[in-house]
């Protein structure tokens, strides 16, 4: 575990050092590009307001991730069980991806106001398809021999799903959840950019409008760290669960 973090930490230190050197050498005005040191000062100075808005965004992300993943899992199972669902629902899911999800943010704000709900819905929409698509592909890709063997042994359709297809598709589900952990913050923050009075997205817009670029970068940095930690947590949960359920201990490269 420790060795896994050496590379990312070293890369982060190098990137921050290069960033600070560019700011010093180019003498870039702080209202255009503040250096890491100035951003760190903003993090310390405005820690309370950043923490308050971080909690709001975290709740939106967590709710969106849980609800979106649950809907995606249930949809994938339904599609796998029902030919009718595959005929009517699957084309709708594919077509829905032709509509930019971000374009729906103003409509959701108009319908549901400036509170928590439209941000959660945005996160759900952006999480739902990767989870549903990855898990459905895993269910559909279950080795035919295993299904035929279960049928020969008299297993019902539901029992084949719960005892054969779902266990075989868990690695695909894990991949979808890892992607969802990265996508969920995007949906929540886009919703906050369109209309909100709290959250890291709102704080970025607020800071930008008042030329507090160091505060804007500080909020962006916190959002990035939160996304990385959430992704790492989901990865850890998926890896531990897969190792116990299927004996698989490796993770897809780059995921």
Q: In 10 A of CB 75, how many CB atoms?
A: 21
Please give the pLDDT value at position 62. 93
Q: Which CATH class is domain 34-245?
A: mainly alpha
pLDDT tens digits along 174-233: 999 999 999 899 888 988 888 777 889 889 988 888 888 889 999 999 999 999 899 889
Please give the pLDDT value at position 250. 46
199 burial class (0-12, 13-18, 19+ CB within 10 angstroms)?
buried
Helix ranges restricted to H, the chain: 2-26, 36-45, 47-81, 83-96, 105-112, 116-140, 144-152, 157-160, 166-194, 200-209, 213-245
Please give the pLDDT value at position 54. 92
Please give the pLDDT value at position 92. 80
Contacts for 234 with CB less than 8 Å, ≥ 6 apart: 177, 178, 180, 181
Q: Which of 188, 63, 196, 58 minimizes the C-alpha distance to 126?
A: 188
Contact in structure between 54 and 200 (CB atoms under 8 Å): yes
Please give the pLDDT value at position 247. 55
Q: How far apart are CA 220 and CA 200, in angstroms?
A: 8
Residue with tokens 């949809």, as numbered in its chain: 75
Please give the pLDDT value at position 166. 83
Please give the pLDDT value at position 66. 94
Per residue of the chain (255 residues), what is the pLDDT tens digit?
A: 456 667 677 777 787 788 778 878 877 777 777 878 888 888 898 889 999 999 999 999 999 999 999 999 999 998 888 888 788 887 887 777 777 777 788 888 888 888 888 889 999 989 998 899 899 888 888 877 777 777 778 777 778 787 888 888 888 899 999 999 998 998 889 888 887 778 898 899 888 888 888 899 999 999 999 998 998 899 888 888 877 765 554 454 444
Please give the pLDDT value at position 238. 85
Please give the pLDDT value at position 245. 65
Token digits for 226? 């939160």
- pTM (two decimals): 0.83
DSSP letter at 71 equals H
Contacts for 106 with CB less than 8 Å, ≥ 6 apart: 194, 195
């Amino acid at each position: 575990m420790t060795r896994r973090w050496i590379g990312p930490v070293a890369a982060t230190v190098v990137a921050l050092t290069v960033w600070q050197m560019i700011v010093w050498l180019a003498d870039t005005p702080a209202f255009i590009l503040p250096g890491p040191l100035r951003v760190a000062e903003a993090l310390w100075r405005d820690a309370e307001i950043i923490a308050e808005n971080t909690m709001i965004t975290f709740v939106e992300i967590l709710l969106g991730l849980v609800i979106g993943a649950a809907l995606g899992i249930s949809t994938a199972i339904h599609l796998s069980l029902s030919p009718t669902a595959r005929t009517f629902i699957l084309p709708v899911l594919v077509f829905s991806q032709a509509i930019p999800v971000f374009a729906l943010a103003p409509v959701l704000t108009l319908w549901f106001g400036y509170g928590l709900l439209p941000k959660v819905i945005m996160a759900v929409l952006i999480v739902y398809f990767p989870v549903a698509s990855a898990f459905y592909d895993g269910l559909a890709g279950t080795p035919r021999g295993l299904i035929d063997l279960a049928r020969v042994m008299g297993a019902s359709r539901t029992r084949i799903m719960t005892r054969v297809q779902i266990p075989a598709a868990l690695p695909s589900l894990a991949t979808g959840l890892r992607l969802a952990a990265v996508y969920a913050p995007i949906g929540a923050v886009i919703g906050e950019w369109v209309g909100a009075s709290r959250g890291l997205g709102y704080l970025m817009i607020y800071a930008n409008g008042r030329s507090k670029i160091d505060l804007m970068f500080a909020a962006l940095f916190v959002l990035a760290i939160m996304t990385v930690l959430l992704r790492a947590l989901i990865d850890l949960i998926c890896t531990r669960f897969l190792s116990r359920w299927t004996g698989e201990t490796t993770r897809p490269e780059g995921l």
